């Protein structure tokens, strides 16, 4: 991230999406994804994705999301950790965000705390406190 090669994000075409949770479908449980995914239905559970994640206008996620890049057109109720987050017009995100890039279009709603950059939480298990 710092001083290295910048990652370039390109738009995802419909043909690039390998997994689809369609409108009217409800999925309950955690998802681990490795390819570009679009959610137009409802997911109750946490999502971890190595690919692009798109929440469509009718899509709703109730859970935490960890991914590389996410485009939100619908509703997310949960925390989001990603390199790039885009809230599109009409989107709603209720939860805390950690991202390198966070774009909020006019007409989107965001309620939460934001932490920019990919700072990691230090491992405190090795810290010794003197008596």
In a domain, 75, yes or no: yes
Residue 121 is predicted with a pLDDT of: 42
Tell me whether residue 81 is in a domain: yes
Looking at the 3D structure of the chain, how many domains does it have? 1
pLDDT at residue number 65: 97
For 9-42, the three-class secondary structure string (H helix, E strand, C coil) is: CCCCCHHHCCEEECCCCEEECCEEECCCEEECCE
**Any domain includes 100:** yes
Structural domain containing residue 27: 16-109
pLDDT > 70? residue 49 = yes
In a domain, 80, yes or no: yes
Residue 70 lies in a domain: yes
Q: What pLDDT was estimated at residue 17? A: 79
């Amino acid at each position: 991230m710092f001083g290295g090669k910048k990652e370039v994000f390109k738009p995802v075409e419909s043909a690039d999406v390998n997994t689809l949770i369609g409108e009217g479908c409800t999925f309950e449980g955690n998802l681990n994804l490795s390819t570009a995914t679009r959610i137009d239905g409802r997911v109750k559970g946490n999502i971890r994705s190595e690919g692009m994640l798109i929440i469509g206008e009718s899509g709703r996620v109730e859970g935490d999301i960890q991914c590389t890049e996410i485009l939100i057109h619908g509703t997310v109720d949960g925390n989001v950790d990603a390199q790039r987050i885009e809230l599109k017009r009409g989107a709603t995100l209720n939860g805390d965000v950690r991202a390198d890039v966070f774009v909020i279009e006019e007409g989107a709603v965001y309620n939460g705390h934001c932490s920019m950059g990919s700072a990691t939480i230090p491992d405190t298990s090795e810290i010794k406190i003197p008596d």
